[in-house]
Amino acid sequence: MQYETHDSWGGPDASYYGFHVITDVYGHELKRGQLTRSGIWVGHSGDGRKSSYNGIAPEKYGDSHPHLFTYWTRDGYESTGCYNMDCPGFIAASGATVTPGALINPSSKVTLRVLKDDQSGHWWVYYGFNGVPTAVGYYPKSLFTNMAKKANQFSFGGFVFAERALPTPPLGSGVLPGGKGRAASFTDLRLIERDGRSSPIMKDLPTVISNNKCYSITPIVNSGCFYGGPRGCV
């Protein structure tokens, strides 16, 4: 697996209550055994993470189109959690027009938001186009221990995977930042406060990149950054 992320591992005393981003979605022709994803992760070091992504995964969905999906765990992916609504956990919002696993059509910019409701303690997932996300559903606070109170880490980025006999698929648009063509982007990066207000992320965060020759994610400037990597680089 290859990846590139911006990470904030705030430690036990850090307090995060949500994350917001606008990200590009691209369609790519993939085969079974290949996948490409981008998304956001919010978690607590004692629980593991809950995630909201967009990605192409023929093995999972039986096609080569981008889909919205979520994942949760409370033990670092050891034995708990699942995608979307594949096991008890995620509860769809009343009247929601989108469910986890839904096809993203057309491929474009989408807004993702994950936040903890201060009254109920549940972690809500929002999704939408044109910067206006609507509620998809929530993870009940009863699923978690430490996350029932707050998160202390978050990250965002992308990753790709290919079985050994296959080339790695494109990451993002398939273009490295600074290369020919337009790289994929994360924009309007925001942290959400306990009271629901949000503030832009203006300072850069540490990066983790599995292969610097093939993948890159730029520093955060004006609450945004670029990322990506070409097909078949690894």
What count of other Cβ atoms lies within 10 Å of the Cβ of residue 117?
14
DSSP category for residue 184: E
Q: How many domains, in total, are found in the chain?
A: 1
| CATH number of the domain encompassing residue 125 | 2.60.120.1270
DSSP 58: H
SS3 content of the chain, % helix, strand, coil (to 5): 5, 45, 50
CA atoms within 13 A on the CB side of 141: 15
Domain that holds residue 155: 2-228
Q: Could you tell me if residue 74 is inside a domain?
A: yes
Residue 233 in domain: no
d(CA 161, CA 169): 7
Q: Does residue 206 form part of some domain?
A: yes
Asked if residue 157 belongs to a domain, the reply is: yes
pTM: 0.90
Q: Is the residue at 234 inside a domain?
A: no
Residue 216 in domain: yes
Give the CA distances from residue 223 to residues 104, 107, 134, 135, in Å, rounded to whole numbers and listed in that order.
Answer: 24, 22, 22, 23
* Alpha helices, DSSP H, located in the chain: 58-61
- The verdict on residue 195 lying in a domain is yes
Nearest residue to 193 (alpha-carbon basis) of 47, 75, 16: 16
Q: Is residue 34 part of a domain?
A: yes
Predicted confidence at residue 47, as pLDDT, reads 66
CA distance 206 to 157: 12
Per-residue confidence in pLDDT tens, the chain, 234 aa: 888 899 987 777 889 999 999 999 988 889 888 989 998 999 887 766 556 656 655 667 888 888 898 998 887 778 888 989 999 999 999 999 899 999 888 778 899 999 999 999 999 999 998 777 999 999 999 998 888 899 998 999 999 999 988 999 999 999 999 877 799 999 999 999 999 899 999 999 999 999 999 999 999 999 999 999 999 987
**Contact (CB, 8 A) for 32 and 169:** no
Q: What is the pLDDT of residue 168?
A: 92
